[in-house]
Amino acid sequence: MRPQRTWLRRITIASSLVLGAVVWQVAGQFASDAFWAPLSATLASLVGVAKSGVLLRQALSSFELYLAGLAVAVAVGALLGMLLARVGWLRVALEDYIMMLYATPMVALIPFILSIMGFGFAPKVLVVFLFAVFPMLYNTIEGARSVRPELVEVARSFHSGEWRLWCDVMIPHTLPFMMTGLRQAIARGLVGMVAAEFFLSPSGLGQMIMMGSQNFDTAGMLAAILLIVLLGVGLMDLGRWLERRFAPWRAYQP
């Protein structure tokens, strides 16, 4: 019964994807080239830029930006989150600023960042960082603050010092929450990457999209978009996998 159901599911998914591709292809055939390109042309364009080496260069440039911003966001979010969870007065002091920044749509800050930091690599990293850091920070704080007091008591009962308490209890407990934060940061960081490449100095896949659009090279533009979509799907899967891997710790309540 069950294997059959999975089969049915797979067939449905596959058919849906094939149908989507067909619709794309047919729609592209009828629409003007300026608005929409068929799937075949898009793929051809993708192969073309891939062969010329442009794709690799631009994708690497994007990825470099993305990883740099994400890494800083994860490190800062995790460390600051732990610190804020443990040091009460610091949390009280910074809480309102964090709330304000979190509530601000990050795109609104981009002109400001541009006028202060100009066009280099650093401001773009800052944009990715700002997009990605808050989910990381929030989930870490929530995780670290939700550590079960019984477990802290167990640690103290076995004469654990503060340092060992962090290694044995605080950090392992917070990890699953950090993974939820990481999954969200992965997704939001990607938005930040494209936004930075659009609105600061154009580069990477964002530049490819912009250039395709400006030159009426619809196939080239769609190729870049398709790549970002696939990248997003892959990264989301990675995030979900990481989150699931740590989920049992989080659910365990004897």
Partner 1 sequence: MRAATETKSERISASAEAQPRIRISRAGMRYDAAQVFRDIDLDIGNREVVAIIGPSGCGKTTLLRCIDGLLPLTSGELRLEGEPVRGPREGVAMVFQHFGLFPWKTVAQNVAYGLKLAGRGADAIAAKVAECIELVGLAGFEHYYPWQISGGMQQRCGLARALAVEPRVLLMDEPFGAVDAQTREILQFELLKIWEMRPTTMVFVTHSIEEAVLMGDRIVVLKGRPSTVHEVVEVDLPRPRERRTLTLPRFAQLREHVWSTLMAEALRAEYEVRK
Applying CB under 8 A, the residues found at the interface with partner 1 are 150-151, 153-154, 156-160, 164, 168-169, 172-173, 175, 248-249, 251-252, 254
Structure-block tokens of residue 94: 């910074």
Closest separation in Å from C-beta 202 to partner 1: 45
Closest separation in Å from C-beta 193 to partner 1: 33
For residue 211, which of 38, 58, 32 has the smallest C-alpha distance? 58
Cβ distance to partner 1 smaller for residue 78 or 193: 78
The Cα 98–Cα 100 span in angstroms is: 5
Cβ distance to partner 1 smaller for residue 4 or 157: 157
The Cα 122–Cα 144 span in angstroms is: 30
Check if the beta carbon of residue 134 is closer than 8 Å to that of residue 74: no
Determine the straight-line distance between the first and last CA of the chain, rounded to whole angstroms. Answer: 34
Cβ distance to partner 1 smaller for residue 114 or 171: 171
Closest separation in Å from C-beta 160 to partner 1: 5
Cβ distance to partner 1 smaller for residue 9 or 156: 156
Closest separation in Å from C-beta 147 to partner 1: 11
HSE-CB for 164 with a 13 A CA cutoff: 9
